[in-house]
């Protein structure tokens, strides 16, 4: 287990959606897996990267970006103190939504594990997710992500 506080640095950081909304609103952002679970996919971006002078946000992107700030997020809100994220379980008519948060940063693993038992040197995926399409279809996310140096490394 990796504490969310080891990943998310601040309530001022962002979790922006990969998929565009549609006629059904945010429900159209969900990805349905082969086992019929519904996933909401987000890209974690640190505030410092968004505020970099090289990143240009037009009015629409800047205004929309505020709704995805981790401290005020409608779906994944970082509680005060920074140790816990509260996930909303319903999106539209779907009442059991899972979340994928893609992190384009190196994460330092715990040297002293939380449970006192788990030890690792690295984390590697066991099996790839079948039929998983990780394209960014939300135009506002595309406009921001393509400018971020962390996405072009």
9-18, 61-70, 105-114: range with lowest mean pLDDT: 105-114
Phi, psi of 76 (to 5 degrees): -135, 85
Mean pLDDT, the chain, integer: 76
Cβ-based burial of 52 (10 A; exposed 0-12, middle 13-18, buried ≥19): middle
Range(s) of the domain holding residue 11: 4-151
- Number of domain units in the chain: 1
**Average pLDDT of span 104-126:** 62
Q: Which two tokens stand for residue 144?
A: 């921001």
3-state SS assignment for residue 45: strand
Residue pLDDT, tens place only, 90-99: 788 877 888 8
Read off the pTM.
Answer: 0.76
């Amino acid at each position: 287990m990796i504490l969310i506080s080891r990943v998310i640095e601040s309530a001022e950081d962002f979790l922006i959606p990969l998929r565009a909304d549609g006629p059904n609103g945010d429900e159209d952002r969900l990805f349905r897996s082969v086992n019929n679970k519904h996933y909401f996919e987000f890209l974690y971006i640190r505030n410092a990267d968004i505020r970099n002078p090289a990143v240009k946000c037009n009015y629409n992107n800047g205004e929309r970006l505020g709704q995805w700030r981790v401290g005020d997020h409608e779906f994944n809100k970082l509680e005060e103190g920074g140790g816990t994220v509260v996930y909303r379980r319903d999106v539209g008519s779907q009442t059991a939504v899972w979340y994928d948060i893609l992190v384009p940063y190196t994460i330092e693993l715990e040297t002293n594990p939380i449970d006192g038992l788990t030890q690792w040197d690295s984390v590697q995926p066991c099996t790839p997710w079948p039929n998983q399409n990780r394209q960014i279809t939300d135009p506002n996310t595309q406009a921001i992500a393509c400018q971020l140096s962390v996405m072009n490394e």
